[in-house]
Amino acid sequence: MATSSKADGAADLDNMSGVRHVVLILSGKGGVGKSTVAAQLALALRQAGKKVGILDVDLCGPSIPRMFDVEGHDVHQCPGGWVPVYPDQDQRLALMSIGFLLQNRDDAVVWRGPKKNAMIKQFIGDVVWGELDYLIIDTPPGTSDEHISVVENVRQYHPDGAVLVTTPQGVAVGDVRRELTFCRKTKLPVLGVIENMSGFVCPHCTECTNVFSKGGGEALANQFNVPFLGCVPLDPQLTRSLEEGQRFVDAFPTSTTAQAIGRVAQTLLQTGGQQETMETS
């Protein structure tokens, strides 16, 4: 596995200084689609004209490289640290994941907590992001070491907050409720809750049918008095795009799912704009 070390002359550089907004994607539950939401939000923000980065800190299950069809790409080093992988020619989307550092994509990351925490600290400090409007941090499930490490290491950069992802079922909502409690204990602002996999969009008639229950995410948001950012339905077109490394929001901009993701992105843009206004006033 590759390691990063800044050159002596670059040791005092702050690679996060050009990042304007930091957003964490959280959920206490695995399999709810955090990486999918992170990837599609990043694409929607890029589509809105923003320069975006995704930091994949799901060390044991990195999926961002595959979602953008850049598995096998090498991470290069410069005097300031690691250079992220750019899947687009105009370099308006930057990616960093442990998946780029593994010799084989099937290799298991068998690490104890201290090594994971050190890797997360290195990811946050040693990636040369340059100027970014948004850095989306895709996190693993849970509320333990990795999450504490992420929050502690980004706190000095005043993150906008966290977007929490759940599915409608009560089991998932219960786990995400614990994640909301984690945010309150660590004083991490909550930007809102997304109910993912909320209904199924028929590929023929585009009608949305509730396969699971519905409304759990909105009820959770109301219970904790945080914004509900909307429902994102299951969509076969999205699944196929992720498997093939295609950009769903670009390929299907009028789909129900793309429009739902676009509305969440607009909420983040409005929140970021309000924060910038408060900082300059």
List residues forming the annotated binding site for ATP.
28-35
Annotate 17-45 with b (16+ C-beta within 10 A) or e (fewer): eebbbbbbbbbbbeebbbbbbbbbbbbbb
- From the list 130, 120, 109, 116, the residue with the least C-alpha distance to 56 is 120
Tokens of 58: 């799901």
DSSP bridge pairs for 163: 25, 192
Separation in Å, CA 97 to CA 83, 90, 94, 122, 233: 11, 20, 10, 12, 27
Q: Binding site membership for [4Fe-4S] cluster: which residues? A: 202, 205
- Give how far Cα 29 sits from Cα of 34, 171, 172, 179, 278, Å: 9, 9, 6, 9, 34
Q: List the one residue out of 257, 228, 93, 250 whose CA is nearest residue 165.
A: 228
Cα 210 from chain centroid? Answer: 26
The contacts of residue 236 (CB under 8 Å, 6+ apart) are: 201, 203
Distance CA 229, CA 168 (A): 14
The DSSP 8-state label assigned to residue 207 in this structure reads -
Residues of each annotated binding site: 28-35, 202, 205
With contact defined as beta carbons under 8 Å apart, do 98 and 109 qualify?
yes
